[in-house]
Structure 1
Amino acid sequence: MASLAMKITLERITLFQFTPAHSAQARAMLGWSVDQLSREAEVSAEDIQRFEAQQEVADAARLALAYRFESQGLVFFPGFAPGRSASLNAMAAETAGRGDYAMAD
């Protein structure tokens, strides 16, 4: 029961944070056309165009878009352009091969 409540809460947060402007900005950051995003997110191109034009689309379509962008490492906050997430795994992989760091004693 708690996991369902958590899922619903996270979906509501995502729907609040992910805006039509974010979708267009994220597509530009990734160099994706509406058609490519449609294929990647499995959302119709018409729904994407409606959403980016600030028209109503189903919550499921909005979530699919947000989650597809998030899977590419983008994060969304109201009032700000999309940003790239700082993944700890990516940082660890980047520093693992470097010899210019030292472990603290």
Structure 2
Amino acid sequence: MDHLPLSFRDVHSAPARELLGWSIEDLSSASGVSPQAIQRLEGGASLTSLRTVSMHALAFALEAEGLVFFPGHPPLRGMNCRGSTKDPQSRSDFHLLE
């Protein structure tokens, strides 16, 4: 399966939630990723500790709210720009969300 590169990183999660005024539970509800997985990610867990589909689901939920991500930079509001992450629900591994 061909995937677009993911610009969303672990360090983006908490600042992105803060920009949106979201709790971990809000992000969990929007993305389908468990609160425990988000807590692990934001607690400094390695990117390899979350499945790629979970990272895509988090990125998609945040990008749907107009945020964009670039490695090495804080999350930015994209105005009318949406991110490039494909909808994770269309992925064959969507059932593996953490």
Q: Which runs of 5+ in 1 are unaligned?
A: 89-105
Matches within 5 A, 1:32-43: 32-43=22-33
Higher helix share: 1
Q: For this pair of structures, how many residues does the alignment match? A: 78
Matches within 5 A, 1:1-105: 4-5=1-2, 8=3, 10=4, 13-14=5-6, 17-55=7-45, 56-87=49-80
**Cα RMSD for the two superposed structures:** 1.4
Once the two structures are aligned, what percentage of the paired residues are identical?
Answer: 41
TM-score for the superposition, normalised by structure 2 = 0.73
TM-score for the superposition, normalised by structure 1 = 0.69
Deviating beyond 4 angstroms after TM superposition, the runs of 4 or more aligned structure 1 residues are: none
Q: Which runs of 5+ in 2 are unaligned?
A: 82-98
